[in-house]
Chains A and B, each alone.
Chain A
Amino acid sequence: MLKLFIKDLRVGAIFLWAVVPLYVVTALQVSRFGAGFFWVNVTCASLLLVAVSMVDWKNEAEPFVHSLPVTRAMVVRGRYLTAIAVGLLSLAIGAATGAARGTSLVMQGEPWPRWMAGDVGLAFVVVFAFIASVYLPCYFKWGFGKGNAAAALVLAGAIIATDIAGAAIAGAAGAAGRGLAYEGVPRGQVTQGVARLADRYGMASAGLIVLGLAAVLLCVSSQVAARAYRRHEF
C-alpha cells in the first residue's frame, strides 16, 4: 500500500508543480471573500485528487500497475492514502496562503480574517473527506471518465441540496437570501456547523469529532471502492 502511495506521489508530482502555483494565486485572489477562499481550497484539493487518477488514465497505466505484485485492495487503499496526503497538502497550502494574506491584512490595520481559523480548517477536512469518499468509489467502479461524471453529479447534487435546504436544517436564518445563486459559492453550512460545534465543545473536541467523522467516511468509502474494484476488469 505504501509503495503504491509513493508511486502515486512520484507520478503525480508533475501535476503538483502545475496545480500548486495556480492554487496559491487563485486563493490569494479570492481571499477578500471568506467563502470563496474556502471553496477555492476545496476545489484545488479535489483537482489534485482527480489529477492523480488522471495520470493513470491518460497513460493507460492500469495494466502496468496491475501487473505489479499488488492486489486490487492494495491499489484502492494506496489511492485513499494518496487522497489523505492530498488533503493534508492542500490544508497546509491553504493555511500558509491564508496566514500570509491574514498577516498582510493585519499590517494594513484590518482585523485578522474570520476565514483564517481552526474551525474553517476542520470544515475543509469534512468537505474534502466527503468529496474523496464520493469520488474514489465512483472512480474505482466506473473508471476515470464515467466515474468523474458520476461523482460530479453526486457532489453537485449534494452542494445544491445543502445550499437550498441547509439553511432550514441548520437554522442559519441569517444567511437567507445569500448563497450559491447569489454569490456563486455555497452558503457555508458546513463551516457554520463546524464553527457551532467548536463553540459548543471547544476546538480540541470539535477537532476529534471532525477527524473521527472523516475517518469513518473514508473507511466506509474505501470498503465500497474495494468491493467495486474487485469486480473491475481491464
Chain B
Amino acid sequence: MDPILELRGVTKHYEGFSLRDVSFSLPRGYVCGLIGPNGAGKTTIVKLILGLVRPSSGQLRVCGEDPATAEIAVKDRIGFVHEVPGFYDYLSIDSIASIVRPFYTRWDQPLFEALAREFELPRRKWFGSLSRGTRTKAALALALAHHAELLVLDEPTSGLDPVFRREFLDRLAAYVADGQASVLFSTHITGDVERMADYITFIRDGRLVFSSTREEVSDRWVVVKGAPGDLDGGTRQLFAGVEVGVHAFTGLTDDGPRARQGLAGRDIVIEPATLDDIMYYTGRTC
C-alpha cells in the first residue's frame, strides 16, 4: 500500500524528554488514531510532521516526500487542526480564509463556502469571540478547503461536547471515504479512536508501544484477571503491565494464549482489552 505518512526510527531529544525510535506508517485513505497519555509524545510527532520541530535522527516521509527538503510541497498537501486553533482573534473567519487562500495551490473557495454553510460558521464574527467548538469547525473548514491529502489533527475533540464530537468524527469519516485522503489524529479520548480509526498507534513515555490496525489491537490485546497469589516473578513477565489489588490482579498482554499457558491450572478470566485498558495498564507494575 502507498503510505501517505511514514516515520522510520524517528528520535527527538528535548531536555527531560525524548521521543525514541518511533516507526509507523499510514496508508492512503485511512484514519490513524495516535493515542497515549498526556506527555507521551503525541504532540511532538504532530510537530515533527508539520516541521515545527526537527528530528534528532530518523526519517520522515509525508505524501512521499521528505518534509525537510520539500517543505512547501508537503505543507501544501497537509491540513492541520490544533487542539486550540490559534488564528488571529480579532479577524473574522472570512478574513482569515482570505489570508490563507493565496498560500495553497488547490484552495477551493466554493468548497470553503459550502463547508462554512454546513458547519453554520458565523463568518463575519471575530475569531476570538467564537466558542471552542465553532473555532474547531472553522479550523477544520480551512484545513479541508485546500483538498488536503493528509489531515493532521492534534487533540481536536478534547473539550468538545459529545454531539459536536460525533459530528466532527462523521465529517472526518466522510472526508476519507473516497480513499484519497488520510487522517492522523492524536487524542487521549479513546472512544473517538474506537469509533473511527482504522489504525491505532500507541505512544507511551516517548516510545512506540504498538502501531496496528484496530482489528489487530482488539484481537491481540487482552486483560487477564486472577487471584494475587497466582502472580510471581515468572508470571509477571507475561504482562505488559499489571495491577495487583487485595483480592485480584489485572494484567494486560498482547499474547492471550501465552498468558493462558503461563497461568495454566489457575483460575483466571481473560477479556478483550479496551483502549482505555491498554493505556491504563501498560507499564503498570503495582
Task: Report if A and B associate in a common complex.
Answer: yes
A-side residues, CB < 8 A to B, are 3, 6-7, 10-11, 14, 55, 59-61, 63-64, 66-71, 233-234
Q: What is the size, in residues, of chain B's interface with A at 8 Å between Cβ atoms? A: 28
- A63 touching B86, Cβ below 8 Å: yes
B90's partner among A3, A14, A63, A66 (CB-CB below 8 A) is: A14
B85-126 contacts to A (CB < 8 Å): 85-91, 95, 99-100, 102-105
Chain B residues within an 8 Å CB radius of A67: 50, 52, 75, 78, 80
Q: Is the Cβ of A69 less than 8 Å from the Cβ of B75?
A: yes
Query: Chain B: residues with CB nearer than 8 A to chain A?
Result: 47, 50-54, 71-73, 75-76, 78, 80, 82, 85-91, 95, 99-100, 102-105
In the bound complex, how far is the Cα of B87 from the Cα of A5, in angstroms?
A: 17
Contact A69 B99 (CB under 8 A): no
Could you list some 18 contacts between A and B, CB below 8 A?
A6-B102, A10-B95, A59-B87, A59-B89, A61-B86, A61-B88, A63-B82, A64-B86, A66-B50, A66-B52, A67-B50, A67-B75, A68-B103, A69-B75, A69-B76, A69-B103, A69-B104, A70-B71
Residues of A within 8 A of B71 (CB): 69-71
**Complex interface: chain B residues within 8 A of A59 (CB):** 86-89
* Secondary structure call for the A interface: helix
Instruction: Tell me which residues across on chain A come within 8 A of B89, comparing CB atoms.
Output: 59
In the assembled complex, the Cα of A11 lies from the Cα of B87 at a distance in Å of 10
Give Cα distance in the complex from A60 to B88, angstroms. Answer: 8
In angstroms, how far is the closest chain B Cβ from the Cβ of A9? 10
Q: Would A61 and B87 be within 8 Å (CB), given that A66-B51, A69-B75 are in contact?
A: yes
Report Cα–Cα, A66/B103, bound state, in Å. 11
Cβ-neighbour of B72 out of A63, A64, A69 (below 8 A): A69
Considering the chains assembled together, what is the distance between the CA atoms of A71 and B95 in angstroms? 23
Cα A64 to Cα B78 in complex, Å, equals 12
> Nearest Cβ in chain B — how far from A172, in angstroms?
46
Find A11's partner among B47, B51, B82, B88 (CB 8 Å cutoff): B88
